[in-house]
Amino acid sequence: MKKAALFASVAGLLLSMSTARAAEYTVAIIQSMSGALAFVGVPLVDGMKLAAEEINAKQELGPGNTLKLIIEDDETNRAQAVSLVKRHAADPKVLAIMGPTTTAVAIAGAQAANEEKIVALVTTNSPEIAKTGPYGFRLSQPPEVLMEAIGKYSVEKLGIKECVLIGVLDNAAYVEQTQAYQDYVTSKGVKILAREGIKQGDTDFSALSAKVASMNPECVFMSAIAPTAANLIIQLKQAGLPPTTKLVGMSSMTSAALFEVGGAAVEGLYLVGDWVPGGGSEQGKAFAAAYKKRFGTEPDNWGPMGYGGLRVMSEAIRKSLPDATRDKIRENLAQIKDYPTLFGGGKFTYDPQRAPRYGTNILVVKNGQFVLAPN
């Protein structure tokens, strides 16, 4: 009896010591889960959930340690995002923030994060994030990287000699990407027939579509969110846009929302994308299967981005152990180099401006799906 009691006492002591050593590392997720950018924010968060579940199951932050996510909806609203950033920054248990999502909201959120000296890894690729201060990091690659890739494909593979550009005017990142595409293709001798502006919430493109269709352009480049771009494409085709016109777009269109709105009209659209649908590697295929099992749908561009983004953040936390602080995480995040990821070329690196580099993929819509475009 005495031996049994002794063993029980030792076992209890070991369990108590183990529990005492276990730690919980908290990251606040602030994304657009409602509003115009929900088609980005919801799958982003789903990808982050899956990453956190795997990290904890494999005890990647150490035996007994866990990564905790606090998930918030910024409602695609600047004031809401700033309020959430400040609220979670005031909690010393929160080590970092993932988000906000879209440019205007993310810039305001990153400014607030810098004031509070907490990392904000935002989704947008706007260069303005770097100007907010050393705590602002981007998840998406700079406009010039993405637009050079799709611009080069437009010129070298699609053979365009002239193009109409249509871009959203009320989102700085989309303006920057339209300009970056224009800069690249004009440097290769492409003539810009017209550059037209729209607003993110516009729905009636009848007059614009008639104008563009009358030009019989070889190419129409669009810089817009997926639902807006899909609606625009429908109206361009209804206005008589020649079937030979090459339609070209950007990574924000690589979403299921493109098909939900555009249907068959978006067939043949070329885009630059981060994720190869179905997974371009064994790791990617395993993720796609796990994501579908967990959420009941195939991942589009944003699920893998969320998954990969949280894994990058988790790696910065891991390197900051055992005494992770916000400043240690910022320093280690900035030093991420060639970290394995699901998207682009498979390796994620931050440059000195805290902008990521991971490579690109060119996709085309074929039979209602995103597939790799022919080389």
* Closest alpha carbon to 249 in 221, 217, 219: 221
Handedness of CA 18, 19, 20, 26 (dihedral sign): positive
d(CA 101, CA 31): 5
If one counts the domains in the chain, the total is: 2
Classify residue 248: in a domain, yes or no.
yes
Q: Determine the pLDDT at residue 3.
A: 44
Classify residue 289: in a domain, yes or no.
yes
Q: How far is CA 105 from the centre of its chain?
A: 14
Q: Determine the pLDDT at residue 10.
A: 41
156 and 227 co-located in one domain:
yes
90 and 132 co-located in one domain:
yes
Q: Determine the pLDDT at residue 201.
A: 87
Q: Determine the pLDDT at residue 13.
A: 40
CATH number of residue 254's parent domain: 3.40.50.2300
- Provide the pairing of β-strand 339-340 with 347-350: antiparallel
Q: How many CA within 13 A on the CB side of residue 102?
A: 27
Classify residue 374: in a domain, yes or no.
no
Can you read off the two tokens belonging to residue 211?
């104008």
The answer to whether 114 touches 136, Cβ cutoff 8 Å, is yes
**Residue 347 domain boundaries:** 11-141+280-359
Helix (H, G, I), strand (E, B) or coil at 372: strand
Classify residue 203: in a domain, yes or no.
yes
- Whole-model pTM? 0.88
Name the stretches of the chain with pLDDT < 50. Answer: 1-20
